[in-house]
Amino acid sequence: MAADSDHVADLEKQMAEMNKMFNAKMQAMQDEIATLKAKNAAAPATETTSGAAATPGAAPADEWAKRVSLGGQVTFRGYNLQNVWDFNDEVDSDNWDTFRLKGSLKATVKATDDVTAVVQLTDQTYGENTGVGDNVDNKIFLDNAYIEARNLFGVPVDGTFGRQNLIYGSGFVVLDGQSQFASTSIYFDGIKLRWHLTDTMTLDGLYMKDQENQRANDADGNTTPDNRGDDITLSGAYFTSNKCPMVGKSELYILNRNDEYFGKDIWMYGARVSNKLENGFDYSLEGAIQRGDANRTLDQDAFGYKLDGGYTVKAVSMTPRFYLGYAFMSGDENASDQESNQWDVFYGGWPQFGDLMAWKYLNLPSTANSLKGVYSGYNAYSNVIGEAIYSNFSIATLGASANLLKNFSVNLSYSLLTFDEVAAGMDDDFGDYYQTTLKYQYNKQLSFSLYAALLSPGDAFKFSADAPMDDATEAYWETEYKF
């Protein structure tokens, strides 16, 4: 027993000595940490900690790296366009064989949980690089540059300030922004405030500039074109409910388009409902009326609507979808009265009816577009050259799409085009419109596409005995990489 007691005493003595040594080492480590903290606090900022990382409240460099993301795209197309404006094989001004190259680089910085900044630089050319401006030279421009602040001042309102894209619904009235000549870019400059009414309902307030070329707004009403203001402004409110009983998604909007050059001040009131059902059916129904001033002398009284419906066969591996569509945009009923019934496209141009149709409705100077022969006022209310100014026609579409193989899809459609209003004695047959799109998704980032379209002119374009009636065609292949 005595031996056991001695052994226990020895063990307790060893444990006491070990605890003493451990506590001494812990104290030394704490002292060293305190010394290092004191030195860091007293040391001046160096180059590696200057700038954003040295700013009070800013995140360390490694945190900033986590908050910055890069993205972008490279798109390369080979185009062939024939007779897109004049339906005339003998005129080559609208016959193109060219490359189109677009490159964009986008940086997104999430400064805090509620503040994000985005800058996107883009360049796009159509082959020859002669002249100056978008599409023709190697100019790099600000495609997007905006600040997004969420929960402003502690309320459920998000603000987006700067150069930004806007797309609502199916793009019937707001899609393309700076739309000139094949959507080089679709941005607006302005402010969007989004009020989150509930988890599923939002109300957007918009004030956007489409054009702001001359800063001096001298003389709204001045009859000298060079001295008129030239601002084009989009403003209004857009309500969205993502879960509406019976109809799925519903949208209501009040939008204003103001063009100082023409004295245009048009208010548009519209609604849209859409849904995708579990049984495979989907639909989108949208309509709007336009009131206000078409220009300084004419009132605006126009309407338009766009109806789409489809059915997807989910039980088949190719998931084919069959669809119908009908869109209508009113034309001017009486050119001699004090009222315009011609639909104003607002920003529903490129490319909701396919690329070839957008080229056909391009706003061109003089009589370059054969639409002038059918209704001379097709571009009477737009001073933006290159804008796709849809009006005065209906388009009825039948189509089908499917995934033929893994990552390989096809879309085929036929559309019957009809003019709404034509001069006495003229036919309203616009023509027949065929489109095909093939796409192969090589991987998550890289895709290859083919697009082909044909527009066969109808009897409406026989406005003279020698009027040309050759088909308009477009074909392009595309390679696109997104990251």
| pLDDT at 8 exceeding the cut of 60 | no
**Spans of all domains in the chain:** 72-482
Question: Per-residue pLDDT averaged across 237-262, rounded?
Answer: 93
Distance CA 196, CA 205 (A): 12
Tokens linked to 394: 């209906």
14 vs 280, more confident: 280
The pLDDT-based confidence of 66 (bands split at 50, 70, 90) is confident
Give the chain's mean pLDDT: 86
| pLDDT at 3 exceeding the cut of 50 | no
Q: What is the CATH number of domain 72-482?
A: 2.40.160.100
| pLDDT at 97 exceeding the cut of 70 | yes
pLDDT value of position 191: 98
pLDDT value of position 53: 44
| pLDDT at 249 exceeding the cut of 80 | yes
| pLDDT at 162 exceeding the cut of 80 | yes
Question: Per-residue pLDDT averaged across 92-99, rounded?
Answer: 89
Least confident window among 7-11, 124-128, 417-421 = 7-11
Question: Per-residue pLDDT averaged across 148-156, rounded?
Answer: 96
338 vs 312, more confident: 312
Distance CA 481, CA 259 (A): 37
Query: Is the peptide bond prior to 351 cis by the omega test (within 30 degrees of 0)?
Result: yes
| pLDDT at 157 exceeding the cut of 60 | yes
| pLDDT at 52 exceeding the cut of 50 | no
pLDDT digits (tens, 9 = 90+) for 446-459: 999 999 999 999 99
Tell the residue number behind the tokens 């209906």, with chain if given.
394
This prediction has a pTM of: 0.83
SS3 state at 9: helix
**428 in Cβ contact with 418 (< 8 Å):** yes
The DSSP code sequence of 181-201 is HHHS--EEEEEEEEEE-SSSE
